[in-house]
């Protein structure tokens, strides 16, 4: 059962107020022209650095925004949904870095932050994964993280798990879709994952699809500006832009993360085949693509307003 949060109650009150306003307006005139917007779903590019040193990785995370009626200088609520997606191609690269490969991933920490860039005021919404049961890495039997032994998160033993030790932590696991179809003309061959130093050669299988981790839905309260459009996307306020006078100016500076550091606005801490991996991401476009700044190197650059989810501010 979903818990009732203060934000939820506030947003519920906002929705009731808007409904009352709409009803009162209807008593005075046949119609105001104000409409309830349809929800919008969009996949945003995130430029990510990984602690394992694979270079810049692009993730495409889905954001759905379903707002109540957005009226000039009036409060409104927006229902926010996010799917954190880890693509098949990136997971196949990771398979070549882990001896023996891996067929599940432990989610130690993961979050996305939804931010309104323009058109309204309101707090950023921090979304974390929907409940994933805690199980022992080896037996996949239920365990309690409160019984963890001393050590680093994700790589420490637990008294509920036998054998006890770093190889058998208690954690939240998501399955990675894989196939052992490594024959010529098979799935892995057709997807470019056979041959020298490939997942098939090293491990005998390849990843066959993306991993999608749904995050908990959030209902957030905002107040609209006087006019214009409300622009929703993922947070990019914490990142810095390169300004050194060179040909890569205008791109995001995304420092290599550390697994030991708290997860940032958009990021993850994962255990892949026993190896701790940190990801820190910023919303951004391929800097050499059609929406980038045309830099010398393929980096990430700020997402333009035109690429965000946009809702018009209506007038009563």
One-character DSSP codes across 43-88: EEEEEEEETT----EEEEEEEEEEE---BTT-EEEEEEEEEEEE-H
| Residue 83 Cα to chain centre, angstroms | 6
Largest CA distance in the chain: 74
Tens digits of per-residue pLDDT, 127-175? 999 999 999 999 999 999 999 999 888 889 999 999 999 989 999 999 9
Q: How far apart are CA 143 and CA 221, in angstroms?
A: 37
Residue 169 lies in a domain: no
The answer to the question of residue 149 being in a domain is: no
Report if residue 62 sits inside a domain.
Answer: yes
Residue 18: the pLDDT is 46
In this structure, the number of other CB atoms found within 10 A of the CB of residue 295 comes to 19
What is the three-class DSSP state of 215?
Answer: strand
162 located within any domain: no
- Kindly report the pTM of this predicted structure: 0.86
Domain that holds residue 121: 6-129+210-266+276-312
Evaluate whether residue 1 is within a structural domain.
Answer: no
Q: Does residue 264 sit in helix, strand or coil? A: coil
**Would you say residue 48 lies in a domain?**
yes
The number of residues in the chain equals 316
- Whether residue 141 lies inside any domain: the answer is no
The per-residue pLDDT string of the chain (316 residues; one tens digit each, 9 = 90 and over) reads: 334 444 444 444 545 454 444 444 443 344 467 899 999 999 999 999 999 866 788 899 999 999 999 999 999 999 999 999 999 999 999 999 888 999 999 999 999 999 999 999 999 999 999 999 999 999 999 999 999 999 888 889 999 999 999 989 999 999 999 999 999 999 999 999 999 999 999 999 999 999 999 999 999 999 999 999 999 999 999 899 999 999 999 999 988 899 999 999 999 999 998 899 999 999 999 999 999 999 999 999 999 999 999 999 999 8
Q: How many independent structural domains does the chain possess?
A: 1
DSSP SS3 for 207: strand
Partner residues linked to 220 by β-bridges: 78
Burial (CB < 10 A; 0-12, 13-18, 19+), residue 299, is buried
Is 69 part of a structural domain of the chain? yes
């Amino acid at each position: 059962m979903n818990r009732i949060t203060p934000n939820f109650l506030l947003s519920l009150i906002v929705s009731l107020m808007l409904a009352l306003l709409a009803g009162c307006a209807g008593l005075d005139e046949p119609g105001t022209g104000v409409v309830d917007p349809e929800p919008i779903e969009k996949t945003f590019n995130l430029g990510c650095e990984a602690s394992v040193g694979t270079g810049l990785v692009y993730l495409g995370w889905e954001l759905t925004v379903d707002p109540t009626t957005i009226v000039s200088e009036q409060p409104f609520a927006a229902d926010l949904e996010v799917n954190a997606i880890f693509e098949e191609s990136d997971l196949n690269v990771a398979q070549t870095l882990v001896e023996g490969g891996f067929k599940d991933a432990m989610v130690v920490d993961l979050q996305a932050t939804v931010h309104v860039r323009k058109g309204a005021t309101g707090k950023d919404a921090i979304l974390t994964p929907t409940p994933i049961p805690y199980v022992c890495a080896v037996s996949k039997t239920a365990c309690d993280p409160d019984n963890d032994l001393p050590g680093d998160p994700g790589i420490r033993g637990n008294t509920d798990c036998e054998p006890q030790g770093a190889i058998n932590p208690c954690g939240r696991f998501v399955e990675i879709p894989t196939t052992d179809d490594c024959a010529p003309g098979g799935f892995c061959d057709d997807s470019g994952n056979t041959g020298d130093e490939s997942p098939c050669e090293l491990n005998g299988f390849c990843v066959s699809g993306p991993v999608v981790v749904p995050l908990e839905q959030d209902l957030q309260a905002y107040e609209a500006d006087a006019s214009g459009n409300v622009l929703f996307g993922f947070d990019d306020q914490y990142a810095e832009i390169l300004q050194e006078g060179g040909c890569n100016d205008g791109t995001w500076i995304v420092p290599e993360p550390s697994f030991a550091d708290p997860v940032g606005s958009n990021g993850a801490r994962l255990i892949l085949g026993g190896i701790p991996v940190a990801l820190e991401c910023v919303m951004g476009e391929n800097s050499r693509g059609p929406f980038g700044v045309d830099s010398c190197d393929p980096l990430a650059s700020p997402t333009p307003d035109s690429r965000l989810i946009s809702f018009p501010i209506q007038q009563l």
